[in-house]
Amino acid sequence: MTLTSPKIDAKAASPMAAASAAAVVKSGRPSAWRRLTSNSVASFGLALLAIIVLVALCAPILPLADPNITDVAHRLAPPFGAGHLLGTDQVGRDILSRLIWGTRVSLAVGVAAAFMAALIGSAIGLFAAFYGKLADMLLMRGIDMLMAFPYLLLALAIVAALGPGLLNAMVAIIIVNIPFFARAVRGATLAVVRADFMAAARLSGLSDLKIVGSELFPNVLPTIVITLSTTIGWMILETAGLSFLGLGAQPPQADLGGMLGDGRNLIQVAPHVATIPGIVILLLAIGINLVGDGLRDVLDPKLKSGGLARALAKTDAASAEERKRKLAPQAQPSAVQAPLALRSLETHFLVGEEVYRAVGGVDLEVKPGEAVGLVGESGSGKTVTALSILGLVATPPGRIVGGVIAHHGEDLVGAPLARLQAIRGNRIAYVFQDPLTTLNPLIPIGEQIAEGIRRHQGLSRAEAMRRAVALLEAVRIPDAARRAGAYPHELSGGQRQRVGIAMALANDPEIIVADEPTTALDVTTQAQILRLLNELRRERGAALVFISHDVGVIAELCDTVNVMYGGRIVESGPVDVVLGAPRHPYTQRLLACVPELGRAERRIDPIPGLPPPTNALPPGCAFAPRCRLADARCTLGEIELEPVGENHMVRCAHVELTAA
Amino acid sequence: MRRLLLMVPVLFGVTVIVFLVISLIPGDPAKAILGTFATPENIARVNHDLGLDRALPIQYFIWLGNLLHGDFGRSYILHRPVLDEVLDRLFPTLLLAGAALVLSSAVGLSLGIIAAIRQNGWQDKLITVAVLVGISTPSFWLGILLIFWFGVRLSILPVGGMEEMFGGGGALDIARHLVLPAVALAAVAGAVLVRLTRGSMLEVMRQDYIRTARAKGLSESSVIFKHAFRNALVNVIPIIGLEAGFVLGGAVYIETVFQWPGIGRMLVNAISTRDILLVQGGVLIVAGAYVVINLLTDIAQSVLDPRISRA
């Protein structure tokens, strides 16, 4: 840790953001301007700035009074009087004229300072990152030292040494702003320098200067623009501030800050003298900030509106009437008594104009104590199906648009948040995929288990913690009482997932939903964790919904299996039947991909092509484009899930051809 | 302890920069330091005291040695040692900056949380507009407006005249004098903090562990404050440290506007009277205070975030 802190707008300075920003500019330079102007707030800022700049530029040709002619007889005239639209100051000079001429000075100094700081700072950052090692160390230590000062104080010290004056104030502002550019550009450059195409450029023998000019600079330019947009506003404000203190522009020349300083002591008798220049500074800064925000939105896709939307506490859902429209009477939730039953569940993601049909009508039933498998490639909708059960799909962009989720006859989709919260982690619990990101890094693991126990069982802190320790013992974490105080980063991946399982077991749930619980783990720990999960849930009589892309694991753990493709179930039935004699061409191909231990000579047969994107699903069978049996019938329309054996269902127009 | 040791090179760097800046003075520094007191004897004395007749690196070490002995030189204008003057004025500045920092953090964090959990709601929009105006407002102008409205028009709060911190008015009097300058100083810093808190909260609220907390059935208030806010705070605390620098610098304007007897106003006066050694002392002490504040925020962050080693 260094003692100095990062730049105030940490997002703009992050190399990641800069790198992604670079990618955007490379691919979409012509549209950047259009995207900026299509943002109404940014266009307002742009218009505001344009007006101010235009008026300032036109000062010499506007019919203005001489800004420096004094007229003591008409001093401190109020605004809107004859001859002086904005009144006069303490020596009778026309405020409107001084304002426009002052804006010119402030703008010129601010913009010049910004570009000089950008030039010098970026050069330092580029140089440090490009040559690395000693140059980097020395330069960046120097920059750190500059940043160890409170921003304005260093500027004051420089002005004190050089003496008051507009030019000296500008030099001071430039120096104190150099570090922001140096740091941001260094970060962005490092990201590029480490990229592959840079290595290629070096290997191809280009000179350093050529590499910097042709490869580096275009890639760090967005970072420079972003930093410029955040600092130029401050630079104008700080220059005005130094003039306000009497350390910048010297009389009779006045910039906006100087005029404000003149008016300061007149606030009781003539408030307009100080108020008016302040309003102009404010408008100028608002314009710059609006344009800057707009620029960052365009150049940094991570910040784009919607990209940073928080998730609501529960997935948004269509009204009950709308969702149940297509349901048969026997599918109504009140008619279902199983612990959990999904009927025609449809969950969509609404991103801009696009609709992604992540889950397109899924039926699933979980009987007491049963282990139900959900298998499919990534993007097949299995995770979204699982998260929909307790309304944990992020909204925006997720929305449950059709179907019901019945829990002992109660429709969970329509349930109020409080009711869902009473079920979450209590009757139905989750084990998530990546235990590193799914555990809170700042809270000890014992507490993360105990808080769920307190919530649902109303136990005291001490009692809940005792239960948590017992659970940690049950998942075989050694020295559980002591480890309860450990933080997630202090545990190994396997131990973290044991904690995840302990959390799911905390309130003896009726159903555990495990979403690829071992995918993020070492192969050697995977088997242990799976055995543990299965053992414990059997002991406690919990049903299991197990999601995996690994057919072998499903075969070992589950009683029934559902194969998903393109957001729908394409085949379902008892595990031994479906995996032993699959009838859907997709299931057949999926099983052909599985390498078998001890049979090295068998060819692994990948499925050609990719699953279709869920915002452009073909009509009929989503697998048709990759299927060897596909013909016109497959794309005509809806294909139903039809029984082909006892409890064995297949969604295929050609079931008669798929029997082994 | 390791952090304390890390302060040493930073403080060393601070002295190097101040020294280099002062050596930027064009012409004869002794003359500049003495100003109108530049008699030949005085010039010779200053040149000898500060080692200005030696090579630059040697000058630096003589100067540094003096600093370490608490000798910051003499103000020839105020006729007293620089350190005495600076220390007299340090407390009012720290009081003002501290009040502004507490105020801006309290307002900034709470508005940032509200804006994040009501994202795109009317509260969020209102706060966003307020933040835009806040970060665009020159603090010295805001100070003048506050004086005009609260001091002149409404006459409910004193607008200045805090000449002596302990002039017998007691804590209540100090507090009354503190309100307006603290608000003026806190506005910009608070607005920046609202933005960052909002962004950080939104970022954190999308993390997997928030979904885990919800999957446990925890209440939204527990999800937001126990799980999200603590994680957001880890990102925000270094910014609060940075804001301390903005507030200490901004105090220069506010002290000038409100006639506050702190280091900021002293610096402005010292610059106009060319009292170089006083400027140098004031900048050094405030920069030192800032280094200490950054150390404190570092410690606060490591207390909050177990992933940072507590060395």
pLDDT at A24 over 70: no
Identify the closest residue of chain A to B237 by CA–CA distance.
Answer: A5
Q: Looking at residue B161, what is its pLDDT?
A: 61
What does the alpha-carbon distance between residue A359 and residue A344 come to, in Å, rounded to a whole number? 9
Q: Looking at residue A660, what is its pLDDT?
A: 64
What's the CA dihedral at A252, A253, A255, A256 to 10 degrees? 20
SS3 A88: strand
A619-632 average pLDDT score = 82
Percent above pLDDT 90 for chain A: 16
More confident residue, A287 or B308: A287
A105-122 average pLDDT score = 92
> Residue B306: what are its φ and ψ, rounded to 5°?
-65, -15
The mean-pLDDT minimum among A258-262, A307-311, A363-367, B41-45 falls in: A307-311
Q: Looking at residue A29, what is its pLDDT?
A: 47
In terms of Cα–Cα distance, which of A391, A381, A419 is closest to A315? A391
Distances (CA, A) of A3 to A313, B234, B297: 38, 15, 9
CB-based contact A1 B308, cutoff 8 Å:
yes
A289 contacts on B by Cβ (under 8 Å) = 132, 135-136
Q: pLDDT digit string (tens) for A600-624?
A: 555 566 777 777 788 888 788 888 8
Q: Looking at residue A21, what is its pLDDT?
A: 41
pLDDT at A266 over 70: yes
Question: With a cut of 70, which residues of chain B have pLDDT below it?
Answer: 1, 26-29, 50-53, 159-169, 309-311
Closest Cα in chain A, distance from residue B132 (Å): 7
A486 contacts on B by Cβ (under 8 Å) = none
Closest Cα in chain B, distance from residue A115 (Å): 20
- Strands of chain B, DSSP E: 74-75, 80-81
CB-based contact B219 A421, cutoff 8 Å:
yes
Contact A190, A229 (CB under 8 A): no
Put simply, the chain B residues between 40 and 69 with a CB less than 8 A from any chain A CB are none
pLDDT at A520 over 80: no
CB environment A195-216: b (16+ within 10 A), e (fewer): eeebeebeeeeeeeeebbeebb
pLDDT at A185 over 80: yes
CB-based contact A441 B231, cutoff 8 Å:
yes
Nearest to A145 among B13, B135, B238 (CB): B13
A118-125 average pLDDT score = 92
Residue of A2, A3, A499 for testing the chain B interface, max B β-carbons within 10 Å: A3
In the chain, the amino acid numbered A260 is: L
Identify the closest residue of chain A to B221 by CA–CA distance.
Answer: A313
CB-based contact A310 B132, cutoff 8 Å:
no
Q: Looking at residue A294, what is its pLDDT?
A: 84
Burial of A441 (0-12, 13-18, 19+ CB in 10 A): middle
What does the alpha-carbon distance between residue A424 and residue A402 come to, in Å, rounded to a whole number? 21
Closest Cα in chain B, distance from residue A438 (Å): 4
A103 contacts on B by Cβ (under 8 Å) = none
Q: pLDDT digit string (tens) for A419-473?
A: 889 989 889 999 988 878 899 999 999 999 999 999 999 889 999 999 999 999 8
Q: pLDDT digit string (tens) for A301-325?
A: 555 544 567 778 888 888 877 877 7
CB-based contact A437 B222, cutoff 8 Å:
no
A8-33 average pLDDT score = 44
Identify the closest residue of chain B to A141 by CA–CA distance.
Answer: B13
Put simply, the chain B residues between 105 and 124 with a CB less than 8 A from any chain A CB are 116-117, 119
Q: Looking at residue A596, what is its pLDDT?
A: 59
SS3 A430: strand
CB-based contact A425 B6, cutoff 8 Å:
no
A289-296 average pLDDT score = 86
Identify the closest residue of chain A to B13 by CA–CA distance.
Answer: A145
CB-based contact A158 B14, cutoff 8 Å:
no
**Bond preceding residue A397 cis, omega within 30 of 0:** yes
> Residue A305: what are its φ and ψ, rounded to 5°?
-55, 135
> Count of A–B CB contacts within 8 Å?
285
CB-based contact A309 B119, cutoff 8 Å:
yes
CB-based contact B216 A282, cutoff 8 Å:
no
Contact A489, A496 (CB under 8 A): no
**Bond preceding residue A582 cis, omega within 30 of 0:** no
The mean-pLDDT minimum among A106-115, A412-421, A601-610 falls in: A601-610
Percent above pLDDT 70 for chain A: 90
CB-based contact B295 A3, cutoff 8 Å:
yes
Task: Tell me which H or E stretch contains B142.
Answer: helix B139-146
SS3 A411: strand
Closest Cα in chain B, distance from residue A332 (Å): 26
Q: Which span out of A61-70, A103-112, A586-595 was modeled with the highest average pLDDT?
A: A103-112
Identify the closest residue of chain B to A512 by CA–CA distance.
Answer: B215
Chain A CB within 8 Å of residue B20 CB = no
Distances (CA, A) of A372 to A277, A360, A572: 71, 19, 10
pLDDT band of residue A26 (cuts 50, 70, 90) is very low
What's the predicted TM-score (pTM) here? 0.83
Q: Looking at residue A603, what is its pLDDT?
A: 59
Identify the closest residue of chain B to A419 by CA–CA distance.
Answer: B217
Q: Looking at residue A595, what is its pLDDT?
A: 64
In terms of Cα–Cα distance, which of A446, A435, A440 is closest to A480? A446
B235 contacts on A by Cβ (under 8 Å) = 10
Identify the closest residue of chain B to A391 by CA–CA distance.
Answer: B215
Query: Model ipTM?
Result: 0.86
CB-based contact A289 B116, cutoff 8 Å:
no
In terms of Cα–Cα distance, which of A426, A431, A475, A466 is closest to A446? A466
Task: State the sign of the Cα–Cα–Cα–Cα dihedral B230, B236, B241, B246.
Answer: negative
In the chain, the amino acid numbered A268 is: Q
pLDDT band of residue A182 (cuts 50, 70, 90) is very high
Identify the closest residue of chain A to B155 by CA–CA distance.
Answer: A268
Q: Which span out of A16-20, A552-556, B39-43, B209-213 was modeled with the highest average pLDDT?
A: B209-213
In the chain, the amino acid numbered A201 is: A
Contact A174, B43 (CB under 8 A): no
Q: Looking at residue B163, what is its pLDDT?
A: 60
pLDDT at A25 over 90: no
Complete edge-to-edge strand list for the sheet that includes strand A511-515: A428-431, A511-515, A543-548, A371-375, A560-565, A568-574, A648-650, A642-645
pLDDT at A474 over 80: yes
Which residues contact residue A398 at a Cβ distance below 8 angstroms, ignoring those fewer than 6 apart? Answer: A315, A316, A347, A348, A349, A358, A384
CB-based contact B208 A432, cutoff 8 Å:
yes
Q: Looking at residue B246, what is its pLDDT?
A: 87
Question: CB-hemisphere CA count at 13 Å for A199?
Answer: 4
Chain A CB within 8 Å of residue B211 CB = yes
CB-based contact B211 A153, cutoff 8 Å:
no
Task: Tell me which H or E stretch contains B56.
Answer: helix B56-68
B298 contacts on A by Cβ (under 8 Å) = 1, 3
What does the alpha-carbon distance between residue B137 and residue B131 come to, in Å, rounded to a whole number? 10
Identify the closest residue of chain A to B280 by CA–CA distance.
Answer: A157
pLDDT at A244 over 80: yes
The alpha carbons of chain B give a radius of gyration, in whole angstroms, of 23
Nearest to B283 among A157, A246, A424 (CB): A157
More confident residue, A522 or B193: B193
Report the relative pairing of strands A560-565 and A371-375 from DSSP bridges: parallel
Please provide the average confidence, as pLDDT, over all residues in chain A: 82
More confident residue, A323 or A595: A323
Q: Looking at residue B165, what is its pLDDT?
A: 61
